[in-house]
Amino acid sequence: MIIDSHAHIVMPPESFRFMAELVGGRANPNTLPKIPDASVRKMAEELVKSMDNVGTDVQFISPRPYLQMHSVKPGRVTELWSTHCNDLIARFVEMFPDRFRGVAGLPQYMDEPLELRAIPELRRCVDQLGFVGCLINPDPTEGLGDPPGLGDPFWHPLYKAMTELNVPGLIHSAGSCSARESYTLKFINEESIAIVSLLGARTFDTFPDLKIVVAHGGGAIPYQMGRFRSWSVRKGDTETFDEQLRKLYFDTCNYSKEAIELLVKVAGTDNVLFGTEKPGTGSSRDPISGRDYDDMKPVIESIEWLDAQQRKNIFECNCRRVYPRAFRKDEDC
């Protein structure tokens, strides 16, 4: 089975009209739209077709992060938008239960306490909609503020809820309000900061059952391992930086065989999950391979030094372990 652990919903046109109304009216009126099943099914079928074209069996879908509007005032805007996106994902899953799993977007408004909106929405999505994980945006201010790092106690209520619900979090930044930092670049920067913050604060000592997946191959960290290995020694850490890093999980969504090989060597084959974000940034044609950059299955298959079980772990088994709510236990690898 090929499980794509990192993808985002394709929104129907009615959703973007709702977005414009939300922002223009500043969440007033604050009613959710009623989108016909035909519009939702059309988008879901397009996504299934995209999966079939590249041999994906199951895709984990979440709201498209750069559209989450976490910094748009008032907080009710992102609350309503997150609710709408998550409800839409639930409809995708209901229409194609064998093809999709839901991953919740959280209404993280700026730097307000997570107990106000984010955690209640997480509980609703898991308990009522059957979602299997959530997104975590390390910078809900979207570049307008100085948010606490993911190792800060500010985030502990969310981690507590995640472990109680037995769902992992996918670290994935959202939009960027900075002219010098596109949202694509912000993704990589925030993922790098998040790893250093989580490990530096020894977060997994406090929450040993917490499962965190870092998107896009872990940002810049795998490429800069020497720097952080040295830094760990200088600090007198009792664990090597490599040992600390393997408390995290990573996805393959970086569209480069060279980078994925490095990631797998650094993180280990048990800590890497197949993820493509297809369709998304990588949905353009590679002039060398003739495939879209986000057609990642052949890339993993072309890594010669992986054996059959290691490939199976990346494509399927690791995802089953990290997302225990996503599949029946009798289907374990």
**Catalytic site positions:** 277
Tokens of residue 205, six digits: 């000592």
Query: Which phi and psi angles does 66 have, rounded to 5°?
Result: -70, -5
Q: Are 310 and 269 in contact (CB under 8 A)?
A: yes
Burial class (CB in 10 A: 0-12, 13-18, 19+), 181: middle
3-state class of 172 per DSSP?
Answer: coil
Is the Cβ–Cβ distance between 86 and 62 less than 8 Å? no
CA distance 246 to 155: 21
Concatenating the DSSP letter of every residue in 97-141 gives TTTEEEEE-----TTS-TTTTHHHHHHHHHHTT---EEEE-S-TT
How many whole angstroms separate alpha carbon 291 and alpha carbon 22? Answer: 38
